[in-house]
A and B are shown apart, each in its own frame.
Chain A
């Protein structure tokens, strides 16, 4: 069983640094369009099913703190809010927060506690199955969120027929998020190389690294989109 980080300032710093990293990746990879055989690959599935789910699962393992991942999603959404890449930025920011909420709703259930010692959540097959379900749910929820809130916030109207027409697309793209989730969750929970005992890191090193990485993420986004 992984140790629970009890220092609330370390947890807060963790929320900021991992949320900033997630936000940076959302801002930079969100509008990338692949070509050739990968033309139909949705980048959002990589962001939701792999990066979002992976970062949230990894931090749940490292810190063992419930609701921390919703905080990370809020930070990532806040950073995404400042990147004016094409789509409705408020909606994208809200969608990231929705993804964080879905993660909490799934993984706060005692049966899916990835820090539980022993059997269930140390079983690679269980984690792969749960990763498929979580990756798909997180991605499709975020996507549906944008399809509902973008028309409401930009035109003041919502069309049920438009939304229902896009559902096969959302679920179809969710296939990639499901597959990626099935790979990512076991890796984030079981890979020994990804584990760091956060409690044992000296405060000066921890806060220095957090400040450096977080500043880099925010400065990069502002420089990339505004300079």
Chain B
């Protein structure tokens, strides 16, 4: 086998593996990890539409954009959680993206209707989780 053929065989195997594995990962990320019409907060189901009618919406600015949203902390407290500062909160998106935040950070977070996302004005955008599926309460 010539050098070029051998190099092409090795590179080709790696390239095909990368394409197959990455496409599988992409397909997996498209499978929703929850019900898109609900957000599960501390094991309690909340309908997205109901959230914006049942809870008070407030206006705020984040990263230069104006938003209307519901305070995340008010929904967490609505689940009946005591001593909320003792826990960490895991925000999980339908695509599996997740971020952990402390109660201090959560108190400055909002659920917004656009993209069903959680917005933290005091955090960088990488902490914003779109298509939010659940907010899990984790013992710190």
A residues touching B (Cβ–Cβ < 8 Å)? 40, 86-88, 91, 111, 119-120, 123, 125-126, 128-130, 132-133, 136, 146-147, 150-151, 154-155, 159, 161-162, 165-166, 168-169, 171-176, 178-179, 182
Contact = CB atoms under 8 A, between A and B. Distances in A.
A174 to B, nearest CB: 5
Given A132-B15, A162-B100, A120 B23 contact: no
B18 A169 contact: no
A175 B19 contact: yes
Nearest to B33: A165
Interface string B92-109: 100111111000010000
22 contacts: A86-B124, A126-B8, A129-B8, A132-B19, A133-B14, A133-B15, A133-B18, A146-B126, A161-B98, A165-B92, A168-B29, A169-B29, A171-B21, A171-B22, A172-B26, A174-B22, A174-B25, A175-B23, A178-B15, A178-B19, A179-B19, A182-B15
Interface residues of B, number: 33
The 3 closest A-B pairs by CB, nearest first: A172-B26, A129-B11, A175-B22
Contacts, number: 103
Given A86-B125, A154-B123, A179-B19, A130 B11 contact: yes
Nearest to A182: B15
B28 interface: yes
Contacts of B19: 132, 175, 178-179
A132 B18 contact: yes
Nearest to A136: B18
Given A123-B4, A133-B11, A171-B25, 5 more contacts: A86-B63, A88-B124, A125-B12, A168-B25, A169-B95
A111 B7 CA distance: 9
Interface in B70-93: 92
Nearest to A128: B15
A136 B98 CA distance: 23
Contact of B97 (A119, A132, A166, A182): A166
B96 A168 contact: yes
Nearest to B9: A129
A166 B14 CA distance: 23
B98 A129 contact: no
A162 B15 contact: no
Contacts of B36: none
B66 interface: no
Residue of B22, B95, B99 ringed by the most chain A CB atoms within 10 A? B22
Nearest to A164: B98
Contacts of A120: 3-4, 7
A144 to B, nearest CB: 12
Given A119-B4, A154-B124, A169-B95, A175 B25 contact: yes
B58 interface: no
B26 A175 contact: yes
B108 to A, nearest CB: 13
Contacts of B95: 169
